[in-house]
Amino acid sequence: MSASSHDRQDPAPTPDALLAAIEQDATREAGLPFVDLVARYFAETRAGEGRVSPPLDPVAMAARFREPLPRSGQPLEQVVERLARDVVADANRLFHPMYVGHQVSAPLPVAVWTDLVISALNQSVAVSEMSPTLTAVEQTVVRWMADLVGFGPRAGGTLTSGGTEATFASLLAARSRAIPNVWTAGVGADPPVIVCGEHA
């Protein structure tokens, strides 16, 4: 099917239709099929069903999703069916007994369910006014981490999305400690030097 004929058959939805679809999606009945899909993935993968990695090559995998841009939505039942068939079925199975934990670990199931709540809230912890509860949670978690490593009551920090961002933030903090006026004066006048071991 050409893109032009696809556009004629699927006209852009009206604002009223979009609002109606959002209202219909924001129900328990709409969310349960997604929860069931994840629960089945947990059960089947932990039982050792299927391969750890898909047998398809990247070209074949890309061809599965090569299609014109949709101009209208699909029923959630079709969305879940396609997720199960084209995404979940050939995803890397991190819960599989034969998975060796290469780079990415399997998430705890409770973390998956909690992430559902976090995604629904969609708070921004950059400023407390946009995340009044989760900013307080972050401060408490940072305090716990500081206590675990034996830091004193003046220790602080922030949560990051991963190791790369954490390392970068740590280097910025160390630079600011060593060169207090670095944000205004820059580093050109007195370039800092990082000393590390030969195997670092």
- Please state the domain extents for the chain: 1-107, 123-185
Q: pLDDT category, 43, cuts 50, 70, 90?
A: very high
Distance CA 118, CA 112 (A): 10
pLDDT band at 10 (very low <50, low <70, confident <90, very high): low
Chain position carrying tokens 């050792």:
48
Q: How does the average pLDDT of the chain come out, rounded?
A: 88
Residue 9, pLDDT score: 59
Q: Please count the residues of the chain.
A: 200
Q: What does the pLDDT look like over 54-74, one tens digit per residue?
A: 888 999 999 999 999 888 778
Please state, in angstroms and as integers, the Cα–Cα distance from residue 149 to each residue in 140, 141, 146, 165, 171, following that order: 15, 13, 5, 20, 19
Residue with tokens 């959002």: 22
92-103 confidence digits (pLDDT tens): 999 999 998 888
pLDDT band at 7 (very low <50, low <70, confident <90, very high): very low
Closest-CA residue to 34 (of 82, 91, 97): 82
